[in-house]
Structure 1
C-alpha cells in the first residue's frame, strides 16, 4: 500500500523533465543515460525485461510515462492513475528517475533530458517503423543520441491483462487520489457527518418499484407460457422519490414536488414519503396513473417487467404549479430528477430551470437512455450525474472511449462538475479547475466499492444524493465522488430501494480503510 512511509522511500525518484536534466547534466556525460517511455498501466514481466535491457545499455535509467489525459487507446484507460503508475515504476530498483509526461508525445521531454539512448520495445519496429517512433528517432538523433530496440522474444499487453481480469486495486487507487488531493479517510468521515439540515428541493418523477416473487411450477406444452405460483409482492418508492428519501436519510431537510395519479399507489407513495420524513407537495393528476414498474421474479431471476405508466407531457397548468413551487420553496440545493415520465421535456425544462432561485446549488440527473430525452437539456448546472449509456445517447456517440466521451459531454453541458457513472467500473469525474490550481487534475476515476451486488437498480440515486450534499457542503468533487460511490455500493447490496444512512456509508468506508491499513 502507498502509505506516507512507503511513498517517502521512492518519491525522490519522481521528477520533472527539467529537474532530471539538471541532475544528470549536459552531454557528453560521464554516465550514460537511457530513457524509456510508455503507458505502464500495469507493470508486467514484459515491462521488467524491457527496463532491465535498457538499463544494461547505460548507467542511469529514466522511465517516462504518459499522463492520464493523453491515454485513449482503449476504454476505461488508464486502469491505474498516473501517480500510482509513477510510484510503481519508482519502486523498481532498476529505475533511477520517473517523469510523468503531460504532453501527447515524449518529443519535448526527449529534447529537454537529451538521453544518450532512447529505448523502444520490439513491437514498435516489427513490420516497419511507425510514424510516431520515426519522430522520436529524429528528435533523439538531432542532438547525437541513439534509438535502440529491446528484444521482442516475449510480448505482453497491459490492456489484455486488464480486460481478462482487472486487478483489484480500488483501495490503492483511492489512497493515491486522496494523497494527491491532500485528503484522508478522516476527511471523508468528517464530510459524511456534515450533511445535516441542508435544505433540498427535489423535483421529479415518482416511480413505485414492485418486486413480485413467484415460484416456477412448469410450462405449457402447446404455448411458450411459463407457469408460476405467486408468493409475495414488495413495493418500494423509487425514481425521484428514493432520491428524496436518500437525501432525508443523510440528514437533509427535503421538500419533494412530484406528479401522482389518483390511485392507491399514490396513497402508498405519500404515506411512505411521510414516514421517511420527506415533505411532499404532490400534484394529483387524475388523468394519469402513478408510474409503477413491476418485476416478476422466479428463483432469483427476473422473468418479466410490467410497466404501468403514461409518458405524455404534463399539462400547462401543472407546469405553472411546479414553477411556482420551485420559485417559492426555500432551498440550498435544487435537484431535478428526470426519469422522462412526463414532467421533464424540451418544453418544460427551460421554464423550470429559470424558476430555480438564483443562489441555489443546481443538480440534475436524467435517466433517459431507453427513452427520448437528453441530459444536455440541463445546461449550466453545478452537478450532473449521467451514466455512460446516457452520455452516448446525448452525444450520439457509440465509438469514443470513456474519457474523451465524458470530456465532450462536460464541455457541451457547461456544468461545473460531471460525475460519469460507469457501473461495475465505478465512475469518472470531470471538474472545472481555477487558473491558479493548474496542477490539480481536471478529471479522475473512482473504482466501485460494491462487494456483493444484490440489486444494482437505484444505486445511481444514492450516488446522486450523497454526491450533491457533499459537493455543496465541502466544495470538493473528490469527496463528493467517493461518498457518492460508497453510497451507491451500499444500495447495490440490498434488494429494492432502501434509503442509505451516513452510518452505512461510514461503515463501508471504514472497511476499505482497514484494507488500506492492513500492514
Structure 2
C-alpha cells in the first residue's frame, strides 16, 4: 500500500481523545457499536463479524490490540499495528479505528462508552469467559449492551498465518518508514554517509573451507561412505569476514585477532591485506589458526572437520588486545565473538574497559555449539544475537519472540537489540520508554532466493553497525543490515556484500512499493 492509499483512509484512524470527540457522549442519537480484536490477517470471518456489528448500530468502531500485548503465538503479530489499522480503515463498513495501548479493552470501554460491544459467538459458547464477564460488568455499569455475532463459521488468523504466511513484507516496510518519516532516498544517502567510518573489529578469525567431493559408493562390510576429492575452497570467515564486509561498505577497518603460527595464518593475512583491511595480528605459536572444513558431496554437507583450540588467550595476549583497542582511534569498536579463546568471563571486562570513550560499542556472540553468552557484553550500543542465542542467554525455551526480546533488551542494558529470526527477518528493540509503541519493530527478509545462508548475520552486523554510527537511526540501520543479510544469503560462499548490491536491492524494493 503506497502513501496515497494510506492517506485516503487515515482520517478514520483516531486517538482515544479524537474518537470520543467524534462520536460524542451518551445518550447519542446515532448508536455506536465497538468490536475489539487483533485482526492480524483480516479474513472472511472477520468481515462477517464486522458487517453484522455494523447492522446493529449507526457507527462502527474497530479497536485493535497493540503489538506489544500480542503473545499468543511465535512471531506474532504478523502484521504490525499501523498496517492492521489501515486494513480495517479501508473497509467501508468501519467508521473509525483505534489502536488500544492497553492489554485489554476495559479502560477504553469505560471512556468511549459504546452503546453496544460486539463479541464473537465463541466467547459465549459453553459459558462466558472470565474476561468477557469483566467487559460485561463495565458495559452494564453505564447501560451498554454486549451483542454476540453469529458463530456458524469461525476462521483462525493464527492457522492461516502458520499455514501460508501472506507476503506483505513491502507493505510492512512502507508502514514503518512512513511512521518514521523515512524515504528510500534516505536509505541511499545513508549508504554514502557510512563511507570512511573508522571501525576496529576485535574477534576470532576462522578459515571456512569446503572440500568438494563426488560420490563413489559405500563399503560392503561397514557403513562407510566413499567419495572422490575434486577441489578445496578456502575463505576467511569469523570476525575476518565481518572486517571484509565493513571494508567493502567503504569503512576504514582495523582488525585485531589471534592467529597460529602456520600456513593458514599467512593465508588470512595475505587475503585481508589484498582486501585493504589493516590487520594487527597477535601470533600465538601454541595454538593453530582455527579451520572449519566442510566435506560436501552433491550439494550436501556430509561432515565438518574443525581444527581449533578454544583455550583462553594468555594474560600477555589479553594485555596486547587491550592495548590495541585503547590505542586505535575508532568511531565503532566491534566485538565479534565466536568463542575460540579471545572472549570469556575473564577477558571481556578488560577488553570492554579498553574501548575508547566516544566509540559506538557493538557486540555479536555467535555461540553455535560452544559456551558463550551475549549477556556478558553489558551496556553496548548494539547487539545482534539470533533467536537461539537469545534463548540460550536467558535460559528461556518457552516464551514467544517478543517478550523474549524485551527481556534480553532489559537484561543486557543495550541501547539497540537486533534479533535475527532467519527467514522471518529481524525484530529490533531500541531504548525508548516502556510502553512506547515505537520501542520495537519488525522488518521482513529481503531475500529472493536462499543459496547459502552462512554468513548472513555477519553482513547484517557490518552494515547495521555502520549505519547506526553514521545516522544514529535504528530503523535505517535495521533496514540496511537486513538487506545486506539477504544479499549474503544469495551468494555461494562467504563473500563480502557491496554498497552497490545494497543500493540495487533498495531500488528493487522501491519499484515493488510503487507497483513496479
TM range (shorter): over 0.9
Tell me, what secondary structure is at the counterpart of 1:310? coil
Q: Is the 2:44–2:155 Cα contact (8 Å) retained in structure 1?
A: yes
Q: Which residue of 1 aligns with 2:424?
A: 425
User: Post-superposition shift, 1:440?
Assistant: 5.8
Q: Is the 1:18–1:112 Cα contact (8 Å) retained in structure 2?
A: no
Partners of 2:325 and 2:56 lie apart in 1 by: 69
Q: Is the 2:203–2:257 Cα contact (8 Å) retained in structure 1?
A: yes
Q: Where in structure 2 are the equivalents of 1:79-118 lying within 5 Å?
A: 79-118=78-117
User: Post-superposition shift, 1:17?
Assistant: 2.0
Q: Which residue of 1 aligns with 2:310?
A: 311
Tell me, what secondary structure is at the counterpart of 1:453? coil
Residue 449 (structure 2) aligned to one of 448, 452, 465: 452
2:26 maps to 1:22:
no
Tell me, what secondary structure is at the counterpart of 1:506? helix
Q: Which residue of 1 aligns with 2:486?
A: 489
Partners of 1:450 and 1:299 lie apart in 2 by: 24
User: Post-superposition shift, 1:4?
Assistant: 2.0
2:169 maps to 1:166:
no
User: Post-superposition shift, 1:371?
Assistant: 1.2
Which whole-Å deviations, capped at 9, do the CAs of 1:231-283 have from their partners, x for residues lacking one?
11111100000000000000010000000011111111111100110000101
Extract unaligned runs of 5+ from structure 1.
none
Partners of 1:4 and 1:360 lie apart in 2 by: 37
User: Post-superposition shift, 1:67?
Assistant: 0.5
Tell me, what secondary structure is at the counterpart of 2:265? helix
Q: Where in structure 2 are the equivalents of 1:350-429 lying within 5 Å?
A: 350-429=349-428
Which whole-Å deviations, capped at 9, do the CAs of 1:435-465 have from their partners, x for residues lacking one?
9xx8660000000111111111100000000
Tell me, what secondary structure is at the counterpart of 2:142? coil
Q: Where in structure 2 are the equivalents of 1:35-434 lying within 5 Å?
A: 35-433=34-432
User: Post-superposition shift, 1:20?
Assistant: 1.3
User: Post-superposition shift, 1:510?
Assistant: 1.1
Q: Is the 1:335–1:363 Cα contact (8 Å) retained in structure 2?
A: yes
User: Post-superposition shift, 1:127?
Assistant: 2.0
Extract unaligned runs of 5+ from structure 2.
none
Partners of 1:304 and 1:37 lie apart in 2 by: 53
User: Post-superposition shift, 1:434?
Assistant: 6.8
Q: Is the 1:283–1:318 Cα contact (8 Å) retained in structure 2?
A: yes
User: Post-superposition shift, 1:335?
Assistant: 0.3
Aligned-residue RMSD, C-alpha: 1.1
Tell me, what secondary structure is at the counterpart of 2:110? helix
Partners of 2:468 and 2:281 lie apart in 1 by: 28
Q: Is the 1:18–1:113 Cα contact (8 Å) retained in structure 2?
A: no
Tell me, what secondary structure is at the counterpart of 1:503? helix
Partners of 2:117 and 2:369 lie apart in 1 by: 50
Q: 1:440 to 1:113 in 2, by over 3 A?
A: closer
Partners of 1:120 and 1:491 lie apart in 2 by: 47
Q: Is the 1:433–1:440 Cα contact (8 Å) retained in structure 2?
A: no
User: Post-superposition shift, 1:487?
Assistant: 0.2
Q: Which residue of 1 aligns with 2:515?
A: 518
List structure 1 runs of 4+ shifted beyond 2 angstroms.
none
User: Post-superposition shift, 1:369?
Assistant: 4.0
Q: Which moved more, 1:246-255 or 1:3-12?
A: 3-12
Partners of 1:255 and 1:22 lie apart in 2 by: 59
Partners of 1:217 and 1:123 lie apart in 2 by: 61
Partners of 2:155 and 2:462 lie apart in 1 by: 42
Which whole-Å deviations, capped at 9, do the CAs of 1:59-91 have from their partners, x for residues lacking one?
110000001011111110110000000000000
User: Post-superposition shift, 1:496?
Assistant: 1.3
